[in-house]
Structure formats: C-alpha cells, structure tokens
Amino acid sequence: MELEDIVIEGSHKNFFTPSVNFNAKTGICELSGESFLEDTQEFYKPLIDWLEEYTTKIKKPIAFLIKLTYFNTSTSRCILDLLNVLKD
C-alpha cells in the first residue's frame, strides 16, 4: 500500500490553519502560513501519524520545511511532536 500525500490549503476562517504539503514521493514536507487553532491535536494528529508511517515504511530522507509566520503555544507543542518523530 502506497502512502498518500497530504495536501491541505490554509484557511483564515474562524481560526488560522496552515497550508500543509507532505509529499511521500519526494520526501518534502512543508507547513506554511499561520497556525492558530482551537483544537491543534485534531489538526496535527494525522500529520504525526503520516510522518510515523513514512519513517517506518518508506525510510527515505525527509526535508521538513516550517514556514510559519505565526503559531500559538499549542501549535508549538504539536510541532515539537512532529520533530520528535523525525528524531527517532
């Protein structure tokens, strides 16, 4: 089973969600824009799961680009969780 890319267009509706482009073929994973969410865990959990699957099954190098102009404290915790997946 092939890992599908994650592509999410950022939004500025009620809360600010970042744009996400996690590309399984190239190994380029990018977060950009602003991240000020009501429920950061709900938004970032699928990204963490995707990275865990990528690092255990595909095992190719990853370029992780964080281009956030603003993020709140709860987002910083989720970003740390993402980076910890890459560390392991």
pLDDT digits (tens, 9 = 90+) for 37-49: 989 999 999 999 9
Kindly provide the b/e burial profile for residues 37-73, where b requires at least 16 CB atoms within 10 angstroms of the residue's own CB. Answer: beebeebbeebeebbeebeeeeeeebebeeebeebee
Q: Residue 71 falls within a domain, yes or no?
A: yes
**Who has greater pLDDT, 12 or 21?**
21
Q: Which domain does 67 fall in, by range?
A: 6-87
Q: Residue 56 falls within a domain, yes or no?
A: yes
pLDDT of residue 1: 58
pLDDT of residue 33: 96
Q: Residue 1 falls within a domain, yes or no?
A: no
Q: Residue 28 falls within a domain, yes or no?
A: yes
Q: Residue 63 falls within a domain, yes or no?
A: yes
Q: Residue 30 falls within a domain, yes or no?
A: yes
Mean pLDDT of the chain: 93
In this prediction the pTM is 0.91
**Residue 75 pLDDT more than 70?**
yes
Total of domains in the chain: 1
**Who has greater pLDDT, 29 or 15?**
29
**Residue 88 pLDDT more than 90?**
no
pLDDT of residue 13: 80
pLDDT of residue 38: 87
